[in-house]
């Protein structure tokens, strides 16, 4: 038992926020991957010719341009809605 006249030596250990930051970064990467995957599926359903030509020729530039355009249109529509 500790006498009441002596103060207790309490040490507070601070935990690193590395774990919290790691989960934030992983969450952002996961969200971006989900958006790109959703846009790819949307593009495959709405413009299959562009996707087929990109896969056939091996060039990804038309596919990336179409993906960027569809993501941009979705963001513009979302901002108009808000």
Residue with tokens 């930051």: 21
Please say if the pLDDT value at position 61 is more than 60.
yes
The residues spanned by each domain of the chain are 41-82
CA distance 31 to 24: 10
How many Cβ atoms from other residues are within 10 Å of residue 43's Cβ? 19
CA distance 19 to 25: 10
Please say if the pLDDT value at position 20 is more than 80.
no
Q: How confident is the model at residue 54 (pLDDT cuts 50, 70, 90)?
A: confident
List of residues 6+ apart from 42 with CB closer than 8 A: 70
State the average pLDDT over residues 41-63: 85
State the average pLDDT over residues 7-29: 70
């Amino acid at each position: 038992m500790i006498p009441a006249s002596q103060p207790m030596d309490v040490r507070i250990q601070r935990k690193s926020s590395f774990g919290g930051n790691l989960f934030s970064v992983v969450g952002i990467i996961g969200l971006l991957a989900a958006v790109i995957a959703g846009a790819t599926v949307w593009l495959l359903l709405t413009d299959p010719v562009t996707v087929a030509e990109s896969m056939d020729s091996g060039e990804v530039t038309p596919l990336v341009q179409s993906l960027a355009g569809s993501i941009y249109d979705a963001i513009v529509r979302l901002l108009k809605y808000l």
